[in-house]
């Protein structure tokens, strides 16, 4: 029987709506006595039923799905040529229903809410999770309460508001907003599917299962991904550890989390050899989707770094913009700045010699560039304006 287990002190709880340990306030994680491998993507297209063997319940409701998962895993020939790395793959999570990786976790979080008989769900979000929660709540007939950062531009707010949730800009400390929301949820009966919600993490872990499935379970050395709250990275680490335990892979790949230098509390704590993360202060980065100054799963990720299961790197604003441009110009992929940070890290680590040509690497591109078009002004994009009767001459 699956249980909820504290990732820090190990205290166990029955499967329920609890989110954090009552003893140490660290995240809870779903653990199993045994697991069976999930179905292969080619054999079962439905995300929910395909992953039944690695979820806590097998009798989930497929009609609540929006068709999440089974996103493309693409080779990256131009990135390979530039970096000298021979085995690079890009997991394009922008192909999910609301254009980001968040739909995986939301799909299972909503299943849990419906199973527990709840009528309202919520989230604290920098944008991607907000759209995902709003869409899946609409699908399931649930009320949605969503808190976003106060400086979120209208171009990001409106694609959330179209789903008709109860949407609020949270003025003040965004990092503290998460913990406030948990208290409000308990008081008002709102189930918050944010960051390290254990059911959300179970849904998020499927991205790693899919990557290995698409590679026919060939060995990977690294999975490189953005990290903000830490929940998605925790899910990926959990997945590779489960695959190793099941014998699907011989050795779990190391997971490299990437933060922006303008908001890198986990990187800073790891670099300074600390056992606990500290509040980073005011974020200052174009990668708004990963700008959480006090990640709820930060200590959880830090322990994985100390165990050698993970690594954290930080990249500059210049490197992020360059990676976003490279992906669009050279690989035909338009991702938001946060989605480009794994490629920024790959380019940086390749220059430094930290990655070898023979290393097998998969990078997770988390969200579509359409999620934040305000950043396009920084690319100084150009176009030509020509009279219709002069167009043919302009082609010469």
**Architecture of 73-96+200-379 per CATH?**
3-Layer(aba) Sandwich (3.40)
pLDDT tens string 256-303:
999 999 999 999 999 999 999 999 999 999 999 999 999 999 999 999
What is the CA 376 to chain-centroid distance, rounded? 22
| 128-140 vs 154-161: helix crossing angle, rounded to 10 | 10
Binned at pLDDT 50, 70 and 90, residue 350 comes out as: very high
> So where are the chain's domains?
73-96+200-379
- Integer Cα distance of 106 and 85 in angstroms: 34
pLDDT tens string 85-141:
999 999 999 999 999 999 999 999 999 999 999 999 999 887 899 999 999 999 999
Per DSSP, helices labelled H in 84-150 are: 102-115, 128-140
Q: Residues near 109 by Cβ (< 8 Å), separated by ≥ 6?
A: 121, 136, 191, 193, 197, 199, 200, 203
Full-model pTM: 0.95
Binned at pLDDT 50, 70 and 90, residue 358 comes out as: very high
């Amino acid at each position: 029987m699956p249980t909820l287990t504290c990732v820090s002190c190990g205290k166990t709880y029955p499967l329920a709506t609890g989110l954090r340990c009552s003893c140490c306030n660290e995240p809870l994680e779903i653990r199993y006595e045994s697991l069976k491998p999930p179905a292969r993507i080619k054999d079962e297209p439905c995300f929910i039923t395909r992953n039944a063997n690695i979820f806590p319940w097998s009798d989930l409701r497929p009609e609540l799905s929006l068709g999440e998962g089974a996103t493309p895993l693409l080779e990256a020939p131009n990135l390979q040529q530039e970096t000298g790395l021979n085995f690079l793959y890009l997991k394009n999570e922008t192909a999910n229903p609301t254009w980001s990786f968040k739909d995986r976790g939301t799909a299972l979080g909503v299943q849990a809410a419906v199973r527990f008989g709840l009528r309202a769900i919520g989230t604290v979000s920098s944008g991607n999770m907000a759209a995902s929660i709003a869409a899946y709540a609409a699908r399931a007939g649930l009320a949605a309460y969503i808190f976003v950062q106060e400086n979120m531009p209208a171009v990001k707010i409106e694609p959330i508001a179209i789903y008709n949730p109860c949407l609020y800009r949270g003025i003040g400390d965004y990092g503290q907003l998460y913990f406030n929301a948990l208290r409000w949820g308990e008081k008002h009966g709102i189930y918050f599917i944010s960051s390290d919600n254990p059911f959300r993490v179970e849904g998020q872990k499927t991205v790693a299962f899919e990557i290995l499935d698409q590679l026919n379970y060939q060995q990977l050395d690294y999975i490189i991904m953005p990290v903000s709250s830490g929940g998605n990275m925790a899910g990926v680490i959990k997945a590779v550890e489960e695959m190793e335990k099941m014998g699907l892979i011989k050795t779990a790949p190391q997971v490299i989390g990437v933060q922006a230098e303008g908001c890198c509390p986990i990187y800073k704590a790891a670099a300074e050899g600390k056992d606990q993360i500290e509040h980073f202060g005011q974020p200052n980065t174009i990668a708004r989707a990963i700008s959480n100054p006090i990640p709820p799963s930060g200590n959880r990720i830090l322990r994985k770094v100390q165990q050698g299961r993970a690594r954290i790197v930080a990249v500059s604003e210049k490197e992020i913009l360059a990676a976003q441009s490279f992906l669009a110009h050279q690989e035909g992929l338009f991702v938001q700045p946060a989605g480009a940070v794994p490629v920024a890290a790959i380019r940086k680590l390749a220059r430094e010699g930290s990655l070898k040509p023979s290393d097998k690497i998969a990078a997770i591109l988390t969200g579509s560039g359409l999620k934040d078009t305000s950043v396009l002004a920084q690319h100084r994009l150009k176009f030509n304006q020509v009279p219709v009767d002069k167009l043919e001459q302009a082609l010469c």
